[in-house]
Amino acid sequence: MSRLKDICIDCADPWTLAQWWAPVLGYRVRPHTADDLLALAEEGITRPEDDPSIAVDPVDERGPTFWFNKVPEPKPGKNRVHIDVYGDVDQLVGRGARVLDRQERWTVPRRSGGQRVLRVPVAGRLTVAAYEIRDAVVGDADAMGRLHVRAWQYAYRGVMPDEYLDSLKAQDRADMWRGRIARTDLPPILVAVIDDVAVGFATYGVEQPAGSTGCGQLYAMNVEPDQWGKGIGRALLRASTAALTAMGFEEAVLWVVPENSRARALYESEGWVADGRVTTEDILGVTVTDMCLRRPLDAGAAQGGP
């Protein structure tokens, strides 16, 4: 633990949480220096209480700093905890982690120095279960079928009829994906794999029906529910938009069920916005709505992310 530097907690009200936790931890809220206040003022923030990143430090002892960071999206049932460790990326890699992406702005608090961050899904006590993204092969189809059905049953319960969701068969979906993976005339499917087992996938290509608005389209994205919230969906989404950009599309669309708040939060944080189009379909007598989201794909487009 001696190398543990920061514990970052994303929340809606950093000041209040920091004030509450400091005495509980035996820590103190880090006072704002004149320079801090000046930097805040440059961002139009006049009161330290409105600072979106509040640090809580140990008093007279070693230990990690707690950062309470304001995040834009509502987080009803979820606080993310980032664990930042002093520059031992190589050590983690040596213990089996893979570097998925390096981005200074992902998890480093604004004023903590701009270190590079290794982002890995962490299970338990730094047991690293890293995923990688690659093109699907036919051998992935069974796992894709299983996770597809499970993702739908978790995401659409209460939106689509139980009778329909319970009737979905992993084998049917696996057969469908096996056939689709074998098609070499279509863009490859992207899979996220852990220990070479598919835990998520995304498909994309030209907007369907063909010729509608000439955009690219994200057709489908699903992640195994046991792996939700670890960044796999975002990584698949970014890989898909990068692939669509590489195919020459300048814009992309996708369709999402409005009640699917998890997916919508992800898309909105990556710069997708509603274009006003909606469609409905009847599933066993229940009307299910889809709304269209759209985003530009130029290199400078919003990448979102925490």
Ligand X SMILES: CC(C)(COP(=O)(O)OP(=O)(O)OC[C@H]1O[C@@H](n2cnc3c(N)ncnc32)[C@H](O)[C@@H]1OP(=O)(O)O)[C@@H](O)C(=O)NCCC(=O)NCCS
How many other β-carbons are positioned within 10 Å of the β-carbon of residue 79? 12
- The token pair that represents 70 in the structure block: 């304001």
* In the block, residue with structure tokens 């051998």: 139
Angle (CA) 110-111-116 rounded to 5° is 70
Least Å from the CB of residue 107 to ligand X: 10
Nearer residue to ligand X within complex by CB, 65 or 234: 234
Question: Per DSSP, what are the bridge partners of residue 66?
Answer: 7, 56
Nearer to ligand X (CB atom), residue 87 or residue 258: 258
* Residue 118 in tokens: 């290794």
The three-class DSSP label of residue 161 is coil
Shortest gap between Cβ of 120 and ligand X (angstroms)? 13
Q: Shortest distance, CB of residue 222 to ligand X, whole angstroms?
A: 4
The values of phi and psi at residue 257, to 5°, are -75, 125
Q: CA-CA distance, 136 to 244, in Å (whole number)?
A: 16
* Least Cβ distance, residue 25 to ligand X (angstroms): 24
Separation of alpha carbons 233 and 301, rounded Å = 19
Residue facing ligand X at closest CB distance? 233
| 41 half-sphere exposure, CB direction, 13 A CA radius | 7
| Amino acid, res. 283 | I
Closer residue to ligand X (CB): 19 or 289: 289
Q: Given the structure tokens 């070693």, which residue do they identify?
A: 62
Pick between residue 221 and residue 253 the one whose CB is nearest to ligand X. 221
22 versus 149: smaller Cβ distance to ligand X: 149
Task: Find the helix or strand (DSSP H, E) in which 55 lies.
Answer: strand 53-58
Which residues bind to ligand X, rule: CB under 6 A? 73, 77-78, 80, 151, 155, 221-223, 228-234, 254, 256, 260-263, 265-266, 269, 306
The CB-of-53 to ligand X minimum distance in angstroms stands at: 16
Which is nearer to ligand X, 88 or 226 (by Cβ)? 226
Q: How far is the CB of 10 from ligand X (least distance, A)?
A: 7
